[in-house]
Amino acid sequence: MPTMSKAEHRDAIDRACRRIDSSQTAPDLATLAAEAGLSPWHFQRVFKATVGLSPKRYAMARREQDFGRRLAGARSVTDAIYDAGYSASSAAYRDSLALGMQPASLRAGGANETIRHATASTRLGPILVAATERGICMVEFGAAKALLEQLRARFPRARLESADQQLGDWLERVVNTIDAPRLDAGLPLDIRGTAFQRRVWHALTRLAPGETVSYGELARRLKAPSSTRAVARACATNGIAVLVPCHRVVAADGALTGYKWGIERKRKLLALEQETAGTKPAGARARAAR
């Protein structure tokens, strides 16, 4: 079998993603690999390296997205299950574990789910860290009262519990990641979003402290060069500050734009990271490149 170039690999994976997106029932690995002209093992490896998810997990994420959307307006959970293309309710309940809650709970706004939260002070202001059993589901900057209101708004039917002691270690590691940036905080994340949002957020977690990338470049790295606006929207809807480092995405000219938690905080985060990494600020690098 002839060796493919990197560009051919990207094209093959883009076609596979479109095939999965448009299929009522996700094609199996052997079918996708054959259509790409690769062995199943090679296709699996290239797909995961490109997308950040295995083909199976990508297909599940797409179906989860459709399932979650249908649940909100469905007459019943059963209707949503079959409308989303599941052949059995057991498959929907299995996939829903990746959403962090059972389907009925998701439809009810997170009812019966327990989310523990704690607050701390950082060099960039107060933060709230919230977590499910699966991992951290929210990191927000802001005033303490406003932060709790944001948590309630995001999970309106969940059971919220203050848990300073239980989250003590995780909270400390988040603070350290802000105050003394390092490559990986080593914390589990309960990331909830569409398949595309997850691709963007996963790509962000692979950026090193002090490294910046433009929205357009990030779209190109995702092999979706026309999705710059969608990348920007994904960054704007990120609910896990710093651990999913959308502050490392800048404008094409290096300008610091579009940060959910404020441009000045973005500037300080990057300055702390670049000081630790020994690199120039994003704007200085952009000016030097001109």
Q: List, by residue number, the catalytic residues.
A: 246
- Helix, strand, coil % over all residues of the chain, rounded to 5: 55, 10, 35
Q: Kindly state the DSSP code that residue 152 receives in the 8-state scheme.
A: H
Q: Kindly state the DSSP code that residue 116 receives in the 8-state scheme.
A: E
Please give the span between the terminal C-alpha atoms of the chain, in angstroms, as a whole number. Answer: 43
Question: How many CB atoms neighbour CB 272 within 10 A?
Answer: 18
Answer for the pair 200, 218: CB distance below 8 angstroms, yes or no. Answer: yes
The Cα–Cα gap between 287 and 136 comes to 37
Tokens 């000219």 locate to: 253
Question: How many CB atoms neighbour CB 284 within 10 A?
Answer: 12
Determine the angle formed by the axes of helices 195-205 and 55-73, rounding to 10 degrees: 130
